[in-house]
Amino acid sequence: MATQILNKGVSRRRFLSGMVAASAASVVGTSLLAPRSAMAATDTKANFSGEVLSGSHWGAFRAKVENGVWVDTVPFEKDKHPTTMIDGVREVVYNPARVKYPMVRLDWLKHGYKSDTTQRGNNRFVRVPWSQALDFFYHEMERVQNNYGPSALYAGHTGWQSVGKLHSAGTMMMRAIGLHGTFLAKMGDYSTGAAQVVLPYVAGAMEVYEQQTSWPLVLEHSDTIVIWGSDPIKNLQVGWLVPDHSPYAYFDQLAEKVKNNEIKVIYVDPVVSDTQKFVGGDQVKVNPQTDVPLMLAIAHTLYTENLYNKEFLANYTTGFNQFLPYLLGESDGVVKTPEWAAKICGIDADTIRELARQMASGRTQIIGGWCLQRMQHGEQYAWMLVVVAAMLGQIGLPGGGFGFGWHYNDAGSVTSAGPLMSGFSGVTGVDPIHNGSYKGYSNFIPVARFVDCIENPGKTIEWNGHSVKFPEMKMAIFCGNNPFHHHQDRNKMIKTWRKLETVVSVDHQWTATCRFADIVLPATTTHERNDIEQYGNHSNAGIIALPKVVEPMYEAKDDFDIFRELCRRYDREEAFTEGKSQMEWIEQFYNGARLQGRGIGVRMSNFKKFWEEESFIEFPEGTEWVRHESFRNEPDLEPLGTATGLIEIYCKTIADMNYDDCQGHPMWFEKTERSHGGPRSDKFPLNMQSTHPKHRLHSQLCSSTEHRATYAVADREPVYISTEDAKARGIKSGDIVRVFNDRGEVLAGAVVSDDYMSGVCRIHEGAWYSPLEGGKPGTICTYGDPNVLTQDIGSSKLAQATIAASAQVEIEKYTGTAPAVTGFHGPTAVTDINPLFPAMDLE
């Protein structure tokens, strides 16, 4: 029996019938039709003028506020290397894409879960009261749980958290939905999906999100730094928490050492990166997706020229002898010589040998990026990089070994001696109301396969040693999360999306996910609520208060209040809040760190003083640290987390899974499509890279109009193309071009650059999907979403991760009249619903 709704909202049927005779104002209420700013006279920030210290994924700042309006942003004085992206943060609050009110898709409002889902994406929504939207939300969860069980409700899809220890959108969602019932969850993520699965088997940890060796030790001890497919200068602008941008000071020092020939820096990359431009050094231009053959040839050179560390391999690794027959061609008839690799990776054999010799000539730090593991068989790149580092024998030494996280979260900065705050938890210990059977289906899916799950219920796939049977997904819930940015092959996704009966999205921007949802709830931005956060990520430089900068716009509510009110409908409000207000939670997080600080000799003020007077606490400096040092010093007492406790060059655990596309040791596998003579390069000759953007955090800030104008080309997302390829196609910088393949087409603005080798182009991921005809598969994207063009197949049976980097395209100059960009405004006003419904004022 369904739990009684404590909020006495009317039923959907009564609501619709009431609209026949009532005006929008009488049904919704006059206050809903007014912007929040018109009602804010009594709110605490409504008429405030002054500065507010706050923080974001782009760093800390001081917001200048005049009469309750945020007018300017100044970087925090403690941040010596602020990013210009700070200028776009204010626009997150004020932009045309703000979700202003609770909205329901027109046809879903008429027909509920039996609606015409082909209309999703046409952006036609009707505004409803908060109480009604939450009733719809609750009723749908009840219907799905009662009729199908937890396997049909997908509520585990999360992305980048909101900055703040309390208001983590995905955590809020999973806590509230988990109190109602169990649900289908996800495993892995899009950022590091292949590496995070294979590296625990090989190196005993995920590695990708770990702290790296302290930069001062690298600068002191390294002779050579190989930056392999990574661009720290570009990517360190953002952080999971509030970044302090401290690594940039070390890159200044590295640039000086390169200039003085004290350290040699080599970039293995088809593109001249921002880091290369900043630091200097030499580039090895490798054909896209062929890094593994290059690594194998380096390993062959190290072995045949006796440049490898036999003692390290004997004492700290296992399986080298099982790998050798493949390296030497005894198992497959192909010797992995530099001559063999040269034909694939486009680097002559002598250069490969010179690179191997340089790496073996002294202390070498290998800095690996994430973009390369986002290709087909991306596991092999991560695994092989560890093998090369193991052969060099410098893992655990200062300035040597490997790392996969140097471009992320202030990595390499010295971690402070300060405490860490806890945060709001996604679990409560309270039993859910619904705890039904999954009916033989899996209770989780690999996240990059979630569209396959919707498309193929009942199908069984292999993942990381498990068989995963796809359930029949009926309802999906997203909070502060935009899968229409994350996922590949947009047109396949749109067609498959129609199989879902109900989609709920909670957000503060009209992302494509909102446009393809049925119920959209307006959340506050980080800067319209109170919170608290660590300042500095791996550096943990201090604690910063995140007080409300301005009052919430329109009818936006905090995620905490949204889900608290949802939980009230099934008598779980107390379990959700634990009887605490938002400020009481924030004080609890602070006091937990304060207590922890006492135990380690770090004194912190009481919360009242911190919140009202200080706003920021700086922690004492910590000590320098070497990754894997304890393992090197005492491998028996400090083993790695692998099955053997050693680095596994050959991994029996993986071998026993019997996967054809990921076997017992790293290997080269041809791709389904690849540039420079690879498969499909005859029809689509350009490898399209969709790396992390230079001017955004994934899709965040793309809706910031003024900020977007600083990098857009002809109002479109830039596509970077080599001078040679542009000349062959009659393209010049500033042209609108069509980028296309068999999966779709986008318009973009051309930037012609000598930084790109021929056969390579780039559109940064996170460009908002902006279809010419909303909801129609195959329509051109007017702004330049690269995932219209990427493949949606798994990296291998081991990780089933995204392969966004494995995409071939063609580019041509667009000669027609370019359509307007469609993606950066709110929903279309519904004015054609008479005689059944009077039009509602959406403004």
What CATH number did the domain enclosing 399 receive? 3.40.228.10
Residue 136 in this model has a pLDDT that exceeds 90: yes
Six-digit token string for 317 = 């690794």
The answer to whether 687 and 807 are in contact (CB under 8 A) is yes
- How far apart, in whole angstroms, are the C-alpha atoms of residue 803 and residue 414? 33
- HEC readout, 481-510: CCHHHHCCCHHHHHHHHCCCCEEEEEECEC
- How far apart, in whole angstroms, are the C-alpha atoms of residue 815 and residue 812? 9
At residue 590 the predicted structure's pLDDT band, cuts being 50, 70 and 90, is very high
Q: Are residues 241 and 385 in the same domain?
A: yes
Q: Tens digits of per-residue pLDDT, 655-689?
A: 999 999 999 999 999 999 999 999 999 999 999 99
Q: Tens digits of per-residue pLDDT, 303-312?
A: 999 999 999 9
Q: Tens digits of per-residue pLDDT, 622-653?
A: 999 999 999 999 999 999 999 999 999 999 99
Q: Is residue 254 part of a domain?
A: yes
What is the greatest pairwise CA distance in the chain? 87
Query: Residue 224: its pLDDT value, please?
Result: 98
At residue 488 the predicted structure's pLDDT band, cuts being 50, 70 and 90, is very high
Cβ-based burial of 622 (10 A; exposed 0-12, middle 13-18, buried ≥19) = middle
Q: Tens digits of per-residue pLDDT, 58-88?
A: 999 999 999 999 999 999 999 999 999 999 9
Query: Residue 826: its pLDDT value, please?
Result: 87
Q: Strand runs (DSSP E) across 497-598, as ranges?
A: 502-507, 519-522, 531-535, 542-546
Residue 38 in this model has a pLDDT that exceeds 50: no
Q: Are residues 404 and 266 in the same domain?
A: yes
The CA–CA distances, whole Å, from 229 to 294, 568, 591 equal 13, 49, 42
User: Torsion-angle region of residue 494: left (phi > 0), alpha (psi -120 to 50) or beta?
Assistant: alpha
- How far apart, in whole angstroms, are the C-alpha atoms of residue 158 and residue 175? 13
Which one has a higher pLDDT value, 836 or 222?
A: 222
Query: Residue 740: its pLDDT value, please?
Result: 98
Write down the residue that tokens 């894997």 correspond to.
Answer: 628
User: Torsion-angle region of residue 309: left (phi > 0), alpha (psi -120 to 50) or beta?
Assistant: beta
Q: Is residue 80 part of a domain?
A: no
User: What residue numbers bound the domain in which 700 lies?
Assistant: 686-813
Residue 404 backbone phi and psi in degrees, to 5: -115, 10
Q: Are residues 644 and 765 in the same domain?
A: no
Q: Tens digits of per-residue pLDDT, 783-804?
A: 999 999 999 999 999 999 999 9
- Tell me the one-letter amino acid at 625: W
Q: Are residues 648 and 750 in the same domain?
A: no
- How far apart, in whole angstroms, are the C-alpha atoms of residue 295 and residue 381? 8
Q: Is residue 235 part of a domain?
A: yes
CATH number at residue 735: 2.40.40.20
Q: Tens digits of per-residue pLDDT, 754-773?
A: 999 999 999 999 999 999 99
- How far apart, in whole angstroms, are the C-alpha atoms of residue 258 and residue 264? 6
Q: What is the mean pLDDT of residues 684-705?
A: 97
Q: Is residue 582 part of a domain?
A: no
* Residue-wise burial string across 472-500, b where 16 or more C-beta atoms lie within 10 A, e elsewhere: bbbbbbbbbbbbbbbbbbbbbbbebbbeb
Q: Do strands 647-648 and 736-741 pair parallel, antiparallel, or not at all (unpaired)?
A: unpaired
Q: Do strands 744-753 and 736-741 pair parallel, antiparallel, or not at all (unpaired)?
A: antiparallel
- How far apart, in whole angstroms, are the C-alpha atoms of residue 331 and residue 177? 52
Q: Is residue 242 part of a domain?
A: yes
- How far apart, in whole angstroms, are the C-alpha atoms of residue 571 and residue 93? 33
Q: What percent of the chain has pLDDT over 90?
A: 91
Query: Residue 86: its pLDDT value, please?
Result: 97
Residue 421 in this model has a pLDDT that exceeds 50: yes
Q: Is residue 336 part of a domain?
A: yes
Q: Are residues 405 and 297 in the same domain?
A: yes
The answer to whether 418 and 597 are in contact (CB under 8 A) is yes
Q: What is the mean pLDDT of residues 549-554?
A: 97
Write down the residue that tokens 């498969």 correspond to.
Answer: 679
Cα–Cα–Cα angle for 352, 354, 360, nearest 5°? 105
Query: Residue 45: its pLDDT value, please?
Result: 79
Q: Is residue 647 part of a domain?
A: yes
Tell me the three state secondary structure of residue 423: coil
Q: Are residues 733 and 635 in the same domain?
A: no
Of 490, 512, 514, nearest to 770 (Cα)?
512
Query: Residue 158: its pLDDT value, please?
Result: 86
Counted domains in the chain? 2
Tell me the three state secondary structure of residue 551: coil
Tell me the three state secondary structure of residue 788: helix
Six-digit token string for 774 = 């909303």
Q: Do strands 718-722 and 760-762 pair parallel, antiparallel, or not at all (unpaired)?
A: antiparallel
At residue 381 the predicted structure's pLDDT band, cuts being 50, 70 and 90, is very high
Handedness of CA 276, 279, 283, 289 (dihedral sign): negative
Of 180, 183, 122, nearest to 150 (Cα)?
183
Query: Residue 829: its pLDDT value, please?
Result: 57
- Tell me the one-letter amino acid at 33: L
Q: Is residue 589 part of a domain?
A: no
Q: Are residues 649 and 743 in the same domain?
A: no
- How far apart, in whole angstroms, are the C-alpha atoms of residue 748 and residue 737? 6
Six-digit token string for 834 = 């008479």
The answer to whether 329 and 336 are in contact (CB under 8 A) is yes
Q: Are residues 408 and 278 in the same domain?
A: yes
Boundary residue ending a domain (655, 671, 703): 655
The CA–CA distances, whole Å, from 829 to 106, 513, 800 equal 10, 18, 40
- How far apart, in whole angstroms, are the C-alpha atoms of residue 338 and residue 300? 8
pLDDT, mean over the chain: 93
Boundary residue ending a domain (636, 655, 674): 655
Angle between the 130-147 and 169-180 helix axes, to the nearest 10 degrees?
Answer: 60
Query: Residue 43: its pLDDT value, please?
Result: 52
Taking residue 620's Cβ as centre, other Cβ atoms within 10 Å add up to: 11
Q: Are residues 699 and 770 in the same domain?
A: yes
- How far apart, in whole angstroms, are the C-alpha atoms of residue 208 and residue 564? 35
- How far apart, in whole angstroms, are the C-alpha atoms of residue 823 and residue 819? 12
Write down the residue that tokens 């932009």 correspond to.
Answer: 95
Q: What is the DSSP string of 744-758?
A: EEEEEEEEEETTB-T
Q: Tens digits of per-residue pLDDT, 795-838?
A: 999 999 999 999 999 999 999 899 999 999 989 856 444 434 44
Q: Are residues 335 and 258 in the same domain?
A: yes
DSSP class of residue 734? T
End-to-end distance of the chain based on CA atoms, in angstroms?
40
Angle between the 195-203 and 378-392 helix axes, to the nearest 10 degrees?
Answer: 30
Q: Are residues 753 and 642 in the same domain?
A: no
Q: Are residues 732 and 649 in the same domain?
A: no
Provide CB contacts within 8 A for 308, sequence distance 6+.
302, 360, 391, 392, 393
